[in-house]
């Protein structure tokens, strides 16, 4: 049940109507039933793992609330967190690590493991959709309770809602359960302004997904799935298109998630803040997938020592965090190296900023624009590694990127002339809206417009989605981050 599908719109409409019509004491039951129905629409069996992870973290919180002994609290935290992480490791990484192990054994000439290797090759698990996201939410609850940052929930229904709430279940944001636990205890009366803002968020998210991201995917998928058929200019264009595709796809989902939650009176964590206007790689990660960046900061980076250590140790901490970040996105060498390169850029950026601060005492507008462009180019290049179907494909792209074709045409890359021209126009639109939003401090400046103007913009957005949305294509069957 995709956010951009008619089925979801019907589901959301019924849920919102019932939510405000029924008494407050029945609303939690409605939201839980709606969330499990939403998740079961993908794969009913996946609910088992959602319940196991939810129960394990809730029990851990309960046990932590019953003891003050430091050693026991540490043991409970380690066992519960280890169990939850083990589930994620088995589903997402067991097959990958076994393949690497047997590859090393082959290189070393160890033939006695051949029987085990054949068994391992057939070993694969279909990871429940969204497991990377709700696993991290459950872990944050265990860690926060262990650190006494939040009071453990005594209501299993409230806690289950904080994990399984359907808007953020599949692709985040990775909310802290404590934030939603506070909200579920409140009575949410219908608020017109909040409802309109949620509707606007949902519409704009749907626009970014089905009009922009899925249109850009027509060209991107053609080039990246056939790397041996193209040369330099094709990869340059495809890389830029993918840079905006993944942004509009993921931020589009997030906007629809935040909008869906706000229609019901709930506030989810902001996940994007104009990332392509970042002036450095570290600034980029303060703007891109914000909830994930904060998770790694709070539960890995700071416990490792953060920046309160020697510069060498700090550099190692950064590289470890980004290595784990790469692995979180998927069990592939492309993701691993993508994460490591981002970490390396962070380390280099720190020393570069020291030098530039001595040369440029004041940041002028031309200097800021230059820094934005350089950061964008680095991010864009690394997205190529992220998107490549394999590390071999990435090497092919690198090799062929400098081989230029004299008869190159952007209109021969799997998308029609109209789609290409419209895509270029939409990319310009995304840049313009982000620049305006950056100057205005967010999209809420639209709330200052007269009601008739806002309604007109909503209608234009709806008609644009209906007229120019990409439907029925392979790219429109999912969101990019569903696979992570």
Give the confidence band of 472 by pLDDT, cuts at 50, 70, 90. low
Domain that holds residue 273: 194-483
Return the residue matching tokens 């850029």: 345
**CA distance linking residue 163 with residue 142, whole number of Å:** 12
User: Percentage of the chain surpassing pLDDT 90?
Assistant: 58
Residues 64 and 124 in one domain: yes
First to last CA, the chain: 17
**CA distance linking residue 99 with residue 22, whole number of Å:** 53
Residues 363 and 379 in one domain: yes
pLDDT given at position 59:
96
pLDDT score of 417 more than 70: yes
Residues 43 and 109 in one domain: yes
Query: Is 217 inside a domain boundary?
Result: yes
Q: Any idea which residues carry the catalytic annotation?
A: 329
Residue at which a domain ends, from 161, 189, 217 = 189
The arithmetic mean of pLDDT across residues 137-150, rounded, is 94
Residues 206 and 320 in one domain: yes
pLDDT of 371-401, one tens digit each? Answer: 999 999 999 999 999 999 999 999 999 999 8
pLDDT of 216-228, one tens digit each? Answer: 999 999 999 999 9
Q: Cβ contacts of residue 198 below 8 Å, gap of 6+?
A: 258, 259, 260, 261, 262, 263
Residues 272 and 409 in one domain: yes
Residue at which a domain ends, from 189, 213, 243 = 189
Residues 176 and 215 in one domain: no
Query: Is 4 inside a domain boundary?
Result: no
Q: Do 187 and 92 contact (CB within 8 A), yes or no? A: no
Residue scoring higher pLDDT (253 or 364): 253
Q: Cβ contacts of residue 176 below 8 Å, gap of 6+?
A: 137, 140, 141, 144, 150, 269
Q: Exposed, middle or buried by CB within 10 Å (0-12, 13-18, 19+), for 468?
A: middle
- Token digits for 281? 């790689």
DSSP string, 352-364: HHHHHHHH-SS--
CA R_g for the chain: 24
Return the residue matching tokens 């590694």: 385
Query: Is 2 inside a domain boundary?
Result: no
Residues 370 and 329 in one domain: yes
Query: Is 22 inside a domain boundary?
Result: no
Q: What is the average pLDDT score of the chain?
A: 88
Residue at which a domain ends, from 168, 189, 210 = 189
Q: Do 284 and 274 contact (CB within 8 A), yes or no? A: no
pLDDT score of 95 more than 90: no
The arithmetic mean of pLDDT across residues 105-127, rounded, is 63
Return the residue matching tokens 């939510």: 19
- Token digits for 481? 């981050």
The arithmetic mean of pLDDT across residues 55-75, rounded, is 93
**CA distance linking residue 116 with residue 113, whole number of Å:** 5
Query: Is 99 inside a domain boundary?
Result: yes
- Token digits for 152? 């453990």
pLDDT score of 316 more than 80: yes
**CA distance linking residue 157 with residue 153, whole number of Å:** 9
Residue scoring higher pLDDT (442 or 129): 129
**CA distance linking residue 159 with residue 65, whole number of Å:** 15
DSSP structure class, residue 308: S
pLDDT given at position 425:
94
Residues 75 and 108 in one domain: yes
Q: Do 164 and 36 contact (CB within 8 A), yes or no? A: yes
**CA distance linking residue 239 with residue 387, whole number of Å:** 9
pLDDT score of 123 more than 70: no
Residues 175 and 276 in one domain: no
**CA distance linking residue 315 with residue 325, whole number of Å:** 15
The arithmetic mean of pLDDT across residues 113-124, rounded, is 58
pLDDT given at position 453:
81
pLDDT score of 118 more than 80: no
The tally of domains found in the chain comes to 2
pLDDT given at position 476:
44
The arithmetic mean of pLDDT across residues 23-36, rounded, is 94
Give the confidence band of 443 by pLDDT, cuts at 50, 70, 90. low
Query: Is 10 inside a domain boundary?
Result: no
Residues 434 and 479 in one domain: yes
Query: Is 3 inside a domain boundary?
Result: no
Query: Is 14 inside a domain boundary?
Result: no
pLDDT given at position 479:
80
Residues 389 and 411 in one domain: yes
Phi-psi category of 139—alpha, beta or left, where left has phi over 0 and alpha has psi -120 to 50? alpha
Give the confidence band of 475 by pLDDT, cuts at 50, 70, 90. very low
- Structure pTM? 0.90
Task: Note the residue count of the chain.
Answer: 484
**CA distance linking residue 63 with residue 57, whole number of Å:** 10
- Token digits for 285? 């990660």
**CA distance linking residue 55 with residue 141, whole number of Å:** 12
Q: What share of the chain is helix, strand, coil (3-state, %, to 5)?
A: 75, 0, 25
Residues 175 and 230 in one domain: no
pLDDT given at position 464:
87
């Amino acid at each position: 049940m995709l956010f951009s599908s008619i089925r979801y719109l019907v589901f959301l409409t019924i849920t919102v109507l019932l939510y405000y019509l029924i008494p407050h004491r029945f609303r939690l039951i409605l939201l839980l039933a709606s969330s499990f129905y939403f998740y079961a629409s993908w794969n009913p069996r996946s609910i088992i793992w959602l319940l196991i992870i939810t129960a394990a973290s809730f029990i851990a919180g309960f046990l932590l609330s019953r003891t003050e002994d430091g050693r026991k609290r540490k043991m409970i935290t380690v066992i519960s967190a280890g169990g939850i992480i083990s589930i994620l490791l088995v589903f997402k990484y067991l097959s990958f690590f076994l393949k690497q192990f047997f590859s090393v054994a082959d290189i070393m000439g160890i033939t006695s493991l051949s029987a085990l290797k054949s068994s391992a090759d057939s070993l694969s698990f279909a990871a429940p959709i969204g497991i990377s996201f709700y696993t991290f939410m459950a872990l944050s609850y265990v860690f926060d309770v262990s650190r006494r940052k939040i009071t453990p929930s005594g209501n299993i229904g409230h806690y289950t809602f904080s994990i399984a709430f359907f808007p953020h279940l599949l692709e985040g944001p990775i909310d802290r359960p404590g934030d939603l636990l506070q909200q579920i205890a409140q009575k949410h009366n219908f608020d017109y302004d909040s409802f309109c803002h949620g509707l606007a968020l949902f519409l704009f998210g749907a626009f970014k997904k089905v009009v922009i991201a899925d249109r850009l995917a027509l060209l991107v998928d053609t080039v990246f799935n056939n790397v041996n058929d193209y040369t330099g200019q094709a990869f340059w264009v495809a890389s830029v298109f993918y840079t905006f595709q993944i942004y509009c796809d993921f931020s589009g989902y997030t906007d629809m998630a935040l909008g869906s939650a706000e229609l019901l009176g709930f506030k989810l964590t902001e996940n994007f803040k104009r990332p392509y206007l970042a002036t450095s790689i570290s600034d980029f990660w303060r703007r891109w997938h914000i909830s994930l960046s904060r998770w790694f900061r709070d539960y890995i980076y700071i416990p490792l020592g953060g920046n309160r250590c020697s510069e060498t140790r700090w550099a190692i901490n950064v590289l470890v965090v980004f290595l784990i970040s790469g692995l979180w996105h998927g069990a592939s060498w492309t993701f691993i190296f993508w994460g490591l390169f981002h970490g390396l850029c962070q380390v280099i950026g720190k020393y570069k900023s020291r030098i530039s601060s001595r040369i440029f005492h004041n940041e002028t507008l031309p200097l800021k624009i230059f820094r934005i462009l350089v950061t964008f180019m680095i991010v864009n290049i690394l997205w190529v590694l992220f998107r490549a179907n394999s590390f071999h494909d990435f090497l092919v792209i690198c090799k062929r990127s400098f081989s230029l074709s004299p008869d190159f045409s952007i209109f021969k890359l799997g998308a029609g002339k109209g789609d290409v021209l419209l895509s270029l126009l939409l990319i310009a639109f995304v840049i313009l809206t982000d620049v305006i939003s950056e100057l205005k401090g967010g999209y809420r400046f639209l709330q200052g417009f007269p009601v008739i103007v806002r309604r007109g913009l909503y209608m234009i957005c709806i008609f644009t989605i209906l007229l120019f949305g990409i439907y029925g294509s392979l790219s429109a069957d999912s969101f990019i981050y569903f696979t992570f």
